Structure 1
């Protein structure tokens, strides 16, 4: 196929304020596009005889995703031309690297495969299943929206319309973990200690409710101090949930304590846990 159009897109990474893991069981979550990390993709059609993918480390994952598309769409064949991928989103850090890639691929294929905008979420989510086994779709939703969202499995992503955010900073734990491994660890706890697991889910669900309320209050400029207090409470509860799930890597509590000593109101892991980044809230 040589009639594919030139294509270029930039997709943000994501970070989760609260609601990790419980979102898979019907809980709510709050997720935002990351201000610093992005994935860019570009396709230039040409008579190359095949699809040339660069850089080399991206070849395998792109080919796997495109083969997944071929499994879904029998009439799909690879175009001729050059596809280039660039990303500053750290891998295994809970910042949505796989979702950003799936959204970029989906948007690239949307015109040639005539994927309606209303169906792009499910298309991208089906691709992300290749990475996580079971994707809530939250990362996909925030990457597509490009703005803060409230998310649930039943309701999908709901843009919060927030224009004013408090100050958040991001701090690398230096540890990396696979999302699927973290999901499995939480699932095993539910199987071995269902009562405890339910209590942890409620703790994280309350964290998500507090964080949603805090963001909305801060955006409205009604009472910044009160909004920050609610947000800090939500972050603290969220970090407690990660600790109960035993998904806090060594050294992270010391990092959080250092941030608190420097004036942070609260801090927690963001993403699936086990490593990645800590997000800190400041006055």
Structure 2
């Protein structure tokens, strides 16, 4: 059996991610902004204990999937032989990122694989995003490649329609006028079926028109306000996004959240937004008070320092 030394694999963390803006727009090559979320991360570790059958099955299937992708491609970007040897020798990715929750657990996995087994280190963000999209499509059926790119670079990434992805500073000097928290629904979900629902909905002319002519402009407006530190404009843009998501992505909102979501929009005290694909997992709560409304407090936690770039831990 091949033995591996700890000095031979990357000794760094691969953070979770927060998709601030761009739920589903990122899948049609439109604007999106995502930042690393260092509270959760993955890290390579050597284990002497037997891995769970589920983890082993995922690793085996992932390698089989990559072998299909590699066929006929002499310039493939991963060393699959070394990956197989190291996995058999006990190298595993230790992660505390919740799975099926919208925080990019599969993105961190792909980032770690690229860092450890990438044949050539690539500084071309567009090429990297394409490679990551190929890898992460194993998990989601279709991937933009944004989540792994954020985790791999540990930097905020902004994608604009028709432009190459570029690094963005997430530091803001002015204090926001509202708070942001994450609500944990405790519901695990799979991204692929939700993406499929969205793709099917786009066949409807009424749906696609509303998505393209109403939703996408609000995403762009929110990102501009965020970059300009115009917090009141951001609040207004995100409120409109919340209203639009309640209609466009109603299937992605759990039934027990719908009345709370609608109540928030009407209250002007708080409102909610998807965090990733929806369907369960985490959701954003934007709130005027220091804490969200009382019925949401038990399962929510503030993330303003990460959301607004006020945290030293990126």
Paired residues of 1:30 and 1:211 also in contact (CA < 8 A) = no
Cα displacement (A) at 1:199: 1.0
Match of 2:120 among 110, 114, 120: 114
1:121-173, CA deviations, whole angstroms, 9 ceiling, x for partnerless residues? 43332110111121112212222332332224643432221213844210112
Identify the structure with the greater strand proportion. 1
Which residues in structure 2 correspond to 1:13-162 (within 5 Å)? 13-43=16-46, 54=51, 57-71=54-68, 72=70, 73=76, 76-77=80-81, 78-80=84-86, 81-110=89-118, 113-118=119-124, 119-152=127-160, 154-162=162-170
Between 1:22-31 and 1:118-127, the stretch displaced more is 118-127
- Over aligned residues, Cα RMSD in angstroms? 3.0
CA distance in 2, matches of 1:203, 1:147: 29
Counterpart residue number, 2:200 = 188
- Compute the TM-score of the two structures, normalised by the length of structure 1: 0.80
Counterpart residue number, 2:294 = none
Paired residues of 1:267 and 1:281 also in contact (CA < 8 A) = yes
Counterpart residue number, 1:169 = 181
Counterpart residue number, 2:214 = 203
CA distance in 2, matches of 1:114, 1:23: 27
Paired residues of 1:207 and 1:233 also in contact (CA < 8 A) = no
Cα displacement (A) at 1:94: 1.4
Structure 2 stretches lacking a partner, 5+ long: 71-75, 289-314
Counterpart residue number, 1:221 = none
Cα displacement (A) at 1:265: 4.6
CA distance in 2, matches of 1:75, 1:143: 20
SS in 2 for 1:24: helix
1:164-221, CA deviations, whole angstroms, 9 ceiling, x for partnerless residues? 3844210112333221111111122222x21332212333312321221222122xxx
SS in 2 for 1:7: coil
Q: How many residues align?
A: 266
Counterpart residue number, 1:222 = none
1:82-107, CA deviations, whole angstroms, 9 ceiling, x for partnerless residues? 31322222211111111111111111
Match of 1:241 among 239, 244, 249: 244
Counterpart residue number, 2:303 = none
- Compute the TM-score of the two structures, normalised by the length of structure 2: 0.73
Structure 1 stretches lacking a partner, 5+ long: 219-226
CA distance in 2, matches of 1:153, 1:267: 25
Which residues in structure 2 correspond to 1:242-257 (within 5 Å)? 242-245=245-248, 246=250, 247-256=252-261
Paired residues of 2:103 and 2:276 also in contact (CA < 8 A) = yes
